[in-house]
A and B are shown apart, each in its own frame.
Chain A
Amino acid sequence: MNTLVKSVIDFIVETYNSYSKSMQIFFIFLAVNIFLFMVFAIQILFWGLGYTDMNNIFAMGVWIIGDLGLVSLGGGAFFTGFFLYMLRVDKLEPIINSTVLIGFMCYLFTFVFLVFDIGQPLRAWFGYAYPNWGTHLMPQSMLTEVVFCLTFYFCVLCVELIPVVLRHKIIDAIPAFHYIGHYLHRLMWIMAAAGTFLSFFHQGSLGGGMWDVLYGKPGWFRAHHQFFFMAIVAATAGGTSFMTLCPYIAGKVMKKEVAPMETFQTLAKISGAMFIFYTTFRIYDVYTMAAKYVPSFDRNYLDIWGGYYGIWMLVFEFAACFTAIAMLNIKKFRDQEKFMVIGISSGVAAIIMSKLYVVLHGFSIPNFPWKSFAAYNPTIQEWFITTGGLCCMIAIYMIMAKWFRLFPHLDKHEHHAE
């Protein structure tokens, strides 16, 4: 046993020493965050949510922002899969493994954050055992829909991830695994179709429908599930930007061409087109909120923006949307790497800001005329559980990039990841 532990430690030290100084510092940063994540996880799970800055007014916080962001950005996985397997855009093949892995991690950590966020994690299974169904097959509660769709889509992503794992050179050498991986890959279009179907529902329900049904709250209510459909478009737009950005950063860190530039540009172009739809939808959304829904609460749209979470959030979101539209749809810009990167980064920023807006702005609005805008300042426990979760995702991505066939394009050029 001691020999095994020693050899594992030797392997870690050897791998660590094989990296540059800057990468070593980054590894330490990841390790510290993951360690603090575990420490604070124990504290929150055993001693409760009193250690957070959430309260009876600001009932949800940074973990819900993380959930909304991860699901929305991870939604790029279903949309990229849809384009590759259903519409046969073969140029996306080199980054599909990376896309599936990011999608898998985004959904996995959505569950992780949800476990921290609910007050009774041991009762999490109640969501499946006692679902709030309405008439026919329609769930009454948007959260019921979220729970079921997230679970099913996560299962789909697990199946989609299996071929990536089975393509590891040691596993692939075993004939049985080789054939399983091969035929699973052949059947992937079914998974892509199922994933698209499921993803449409939970993108809409978690990102939008969950909020637009709250008819007592002026910051969220929209009739006819307008926000539901907008959240789906947001996921297709921002998710594809995120799926372009992650492998691009990986390539820069690894100093390798992980995928041809044409692949990045194809996905960036899809993202750019979706941002036109999203921004148009968002303008309509702001218009209807200002003209119709907020006045139905006897409130003025501009008056509900206040406190720390002012109208600058909306301005920032639109600025990022327009930047993404310009950089990703105009061929002259998209063909230049730096502008493309600005475009996809703006796309990701726009979607993150839209999620910040939903939670921070929505909760800050006072419910009574004599109360002022609420504010929220996450505690150290909330910060480290969030950043630790994100660091876990980065670590898994790095491990998969180094030891698994995350970027098949590298094999073609007989390169190996650093």
Chain B
Amino acid sequence: MNTNETHVTQENKMKRRWGMAIDLDKCTGCGQCSIACAQENNLPIFEDDSDQPKRVAYLELMKVTNDRDAKYPNVEVTFIPKMCQQCEGNDPSNPKPPCVSVCPVVATDVGDDGVVSQVWSRCIGCRYCQVSCPYEARAFNWWKPRHEGSFKKSLNSDVSVMSRGTIVKCTFCSHIWKRERDKAVAQGITDINAVLYTPTCASSCPTGAIVFGDLNDPDSEVSKLSKDKRAFRLVHTIDEKPEDEKKRLMKLKDYPNPKVYYLSSRQWVRDMMRFK
């Protein structure tokens, strides 16, 4: 055992709660986040990736318009980068994402930093977690993942290559956090909370639309953005209910309570999040 891997004590207990804020007003829909994600996480490339329902992607760039029948100049478009929303359930101190409790083989779990993991060498491919996910964030390898030609040379050695018949998903690039942690340990820093990192989608965004950080830290940018008046969460309208109604509903059932926040000043985008 590495001497640096000390027992978890109160001091080095994980206090971070990773979250993300995506400013849709800044997003141009360039797709750089999606490409960077695919490259970083060794996502396979298929002959026909337009077969969207079977595509293996962690980050889907959803194109939404204000009105499908609208014509220029009344048409407005926004792009919503959608990855795993890292749900918490009603009680963030005891996270209960919809997908974790359903897995029959504990192939998915939620860490003490709130990140929902997925171990594809454990996954049996029952797809029950995919069924439970309200954000369609999980992808199944319907075909054998292939990395043709020179793509093999660019595979990331920090991420295991996925196999056919397993579920995969965004883990907020937790391998980057592990890499940063190892670097810190090599420098003699053993405080787990001293390690910060940025997932590849956030670091690759050319407009800075994606911000990543610790939601537990009130001074972090992501924490501030999550409380911004422009902030909302994907199809999660319980936030807008009066306090009494909110309490009543949360007694009735769990709500996903995702840790990915979206920001937009356009009312029609916010309206889009509600079922009519």
Contact = CB atoms under 8 A, between A and B. Distances in A.
B138 interface: yes
Contacts of B237: 298
A370 B64 contact: yes
Interface in A207-263: 210, 213-217, 221, 223
Contact of A143 (B64, B87, B102, B135): B102
B53 A213 contact: no
Interface stretch (B126-134, B149-157, B173-181, B199-207): B126-134
A214 B131 contact: yes
A124 B124 contact: yes
A299 B275 contact: yes
Contacts of A143: 102-104, 126, 128
Contacts, number: 152
A55 B53 contact: yes
Interface residues of B, number: 53
A317 to B, nearest CB: 22
Contact of B134 (A119, A223, A367, A369): A367
A132 B131 contact: no
A299 B135 CA distance: 16
Nearest to B271: A369
Most B CB contacts (10 A, CB to CB) among A49, A56, A217 go to A56
A293 B254 CA distance: 12
Interface stretch (A19-27, A57-65, A94-102, A341-349): A57-65
Given A48-B165, A216-B134, A119 B139 contact: no
Contact of B105 (A48, A132, A299, A369): A132
Nearest to A222: B253
B101 interface: yes
A118 interface: yes
Interface string B242-276: 00000001001111100000000000000011111
Contacts of B87: 216
A410 B253 CA distance: 55
Interface string A108-123: 0000000001111001
Query: Max chain A CB contacts within 10 Å: which of B62, B64, B275?
Result: B275
User: Interface extent on A, as a size class?
Assistant: 35 or more
A42 to B, nearest CB: 15
Interface stretch (B140-148, B184-192, B212-220): B140-148
B54 interface: yes
Contact of A213 (B101, B125, B143, B167): B101
5 contacts: A54-B142, A59-B140, A123-B124, A127-B124, A298-B275
Interface of B: 53-55, 62, 64, 87, 98, 101-106, 122-128, 130-136, 138-144, 163-167, 234-235, 237, 249, 252-256, 272-276
Interface of A: 47-50, 52, 54-60, 117-120, 123-124, 126-127, 130-132, 134, 140-144, 146-147, 210, 213-217, 221, 223, 292-293, 296-299, 303, 363, 367-370
Smallest CB-CB A-B distances: 7 pairs: A119-B125, A119-B165, A216-B134, A55-B53, A143-B104, A50-B143, A50-B142
